[in-house]
Amino acid sequence: MKQFSMKQYGPWLAIVFMAAAILPACKKSSDLGPQANAQVMLVNASPGDSTPRNFYFNDTKLNTQSLAYPANSAYLPLAPGTYSIKVTSANSINPIAATSAGLGSGKNYSVFAYDTLLGGKIKVFAVEDNLAAPAANKTKVRFLDLSPVAVAVDIYANDSLVFANRSYADNVSDNSKANFISVNAGTYVV
């Protein structure tokens, strides 16, 4: 039986162990597979003038057609990442509103332009949309108060309080107010 000698094999074993430790660290992030796009819906919730709006993400226009009030786009794919978002009038590249938002892989978002130029400047915010299917016999709704009238409102559906004491753009400072809630499926008087 032949004996194992560290003198004879030691340098080779050291090289094998170093290669085993180094090679996994060299793996490129692109080797992890493609990341799913984020999906973004653009919403022009800005009444007051008749000018359609464009939405730019890192200075690239995302919508193919300008959005008139109260139009929205379909969900549009966008690579995950952090974006500066600008809203412009249809025939201009000068922003009338701006924000930034991080968009996660495989997640859905709505970006709202709201307020009026009469109020000083249009504003914009992004909110994540939970598009998971509701439970059986349920539907999901949300309420965003984007009317620049400074009056708190309660929202009733068939005489049942659904959203209490909602005020202008309260979801911007409290993201939970942009969440969907589940209600029984059916027809409602709101």
What are the pLDDT digits (tens) for 93-144? 999 999 999 999 999 999 999 988 766 678 999 999 999 999 999 999 999 9
Report whether pLDDT(28) > 70: no
Torsion (CA) 124, 130, 135, 141 in degrees, nearest 10 = 0
Strand arrangement of the beta sheet that strand 38-45 belongs to: 76-78, 38-45, 108-114, 123-129
Record the tokens describing residue 54, joined without a space: 């464009």
Residue 13 pLDDT: 36
- pLDDT of 185 above 90: yes
For the entire predicted model, the pTM comes to: 0.79
H or E element, residue 1: none
